[in-house]
Amino acid sequence: MNPTLTIDLTAIRRNWRALDTLSGASQTGAAVKANAYGLGLGPVARALHAEGCRTFFVATLDEGIALRGVLPDATIHILNGVVGDGAAEARAQGLQPCLNSPRQVAAWRDAGGGPCALQIDTDMARLGVQPADLPRLVEQEAQTLAQATLIMSHLATADEPDHPLNEAQKAAFERRLARLRPAMPDARASLGATGGTLLGPRFHYDLVRCGIGLYGGMPFADAAPVVTLRVPIIQIREVAAGAAVGYGASWTATRPSRIATLPLGYADGFHRALSNTTHVYIDGKPAPLAGRVSMDLLTVDVTDHPGVTDADTVEIIGPSRGIDALAHDAGTIGYELLTALGTRYERRYKGA
């Protein structure tokens, strides 16, 4: 058996349906940037579209072009926006860039304009038109802005429901919406991602933009799990008490031990920071890492699993441990774990 990443498309559809129910009257768009959070743009986008999703968000023009090839009719927004030739190309592909700055608005106008989104910054200070630039844009780019289908902003702390910045950003969004509305009468409004959807109806506006919740990650605690990762054992060896294992000799056997070697490493997104700190699961029972994670290999102490052989497989992500628990051990978040998964697995899609 090869290392196998199983992606449950039925679970993704169920998660979209659950978030769409939570978002009530507002529509539920999907963030499928970074290859649908590492899970495969084509299969994931097709599954979401089949469930009823019609608005999609990618980060880059290339991602938008790839998605257009999958979904000829969907509304596709490019979060990072476009300039120069990119604007012309996006327009030719029927993609709607999020215009994030006066320069991007001008580039869209020069390419001929058309349906697009306007992203405004509400005190996250990352991406989007800054408040000081809004009056001049409304005055000088009225024709371009009038064609926008969406006015959006992004919450910085939506995964912390009690954080005061959520209400402050919402208030800033509404102040700027009021200023933009006369110039952009047809645009829908959108503020929340998965976290914002969970904050409740006051944060939903016309459209929510869900990513991680679709893929089974926090902060959507009720998400159906989507990803299973199983890898074979490729070799087992006996080592004596006192023997060291792996690069840097960072793990030493304190008793006669059995070490299993797995074909999984940091090139596959199994972070090197997990060295000596986490477990894999054998028949639901944890077996600790022994030694450093290498590029392509991992060593595990299976001394307490006497029945295990080099014909067995182990669970890395699955029923015993989800993506957020493994991400926590690596000092990161489910988002980074998924997008780092790498390309060497045999990928199996369940459902459709």
Binding site for ligand PLP (CB under 6 A): 31, 33, 57, 79, 154, 193-195, 209-213
In the chain, % helix, strand, coil (3-state, to 5) comes to 35, 25, 40
Helix (H) or strand (E) holding 234: none
Toward ligand PLP, which CB reaches closer, 78 or 302? 78
Toward ligand PLP, which CB reaches closer, 13 or 154? 154
Using Cβ positions, the residue closest to ligand PLP within the complex turns out to be 211
Min dist CB 155 to ligand PLP, Å, is 9
Asked whether 335 and 217 are in contact (CB, 8 A), the reply is yes
Asked whether 183 and 190 are in contact (CB, 8 A), the reply is no
Min dist CB 159 to ligand PLP, Å, is 8
Count Cβ atoms below 10 Å from residue 230 Cβ, excluding itself: 19
Toward ligand PLP, which CB reaches closer, 154 or 321? 154
CA distance 151 to 153: 7
Q: DSSP 3-state assignment of 317?
A: strand
Toward ligand PLP, which CB reaches closer, 159 or 315? 159
33 is catalytic: yes
- The label of the residue with tokens 């290859």 reads 35
Helix (H) or strand (E) holding 339: helix 334-339
Min dist CB 198 to ligand PLP, Å, is 10
CA 38 to chain CA centroid, nearest Å: 7
Min dist CB 333 to ligand PLP, Å, is 10
Query: In sequence order, what are the beta bridge partners of 229?
Result: 5, 317
Count Cβ atoms below 10 Å from residue 83 Cβ, excluding itself: 19
Query: In sequence order, what are the beta bridge partners of 77?
Result: 57, 96
For residue 83, give Cα distances in angstroms to 91, 110, 130, 139: 11, 10, 17, 21
Min dist CB 170 to ligand PLP, Å, is 15
Considering the candidates 170, 247, 281, 349, report the single residue annotated as catalytic: 247
Beta strands per DSSP E along the chain: 4-8, 27-31, 55-58, 75-78, 96-99, 116-119, 148-152, 188-190, 207-210, 227-232, 235-239, 244-245, 251-252, 257-262, 279-282, 285-288, 298-301, 313-317, 346-350
Toward ligand PLP, which CB reaches closer, 56 or 266? 56
Considering the candidates 33, 215, 335, 345, report the single residue annotated as catalytic: 33
Min dist CB 191 to ligand PLP, Å, is 9
Toward ligand PLP, which CB reaches closer, 38 or 291? 38
Name the residues annotated as catalytic: 33, 247
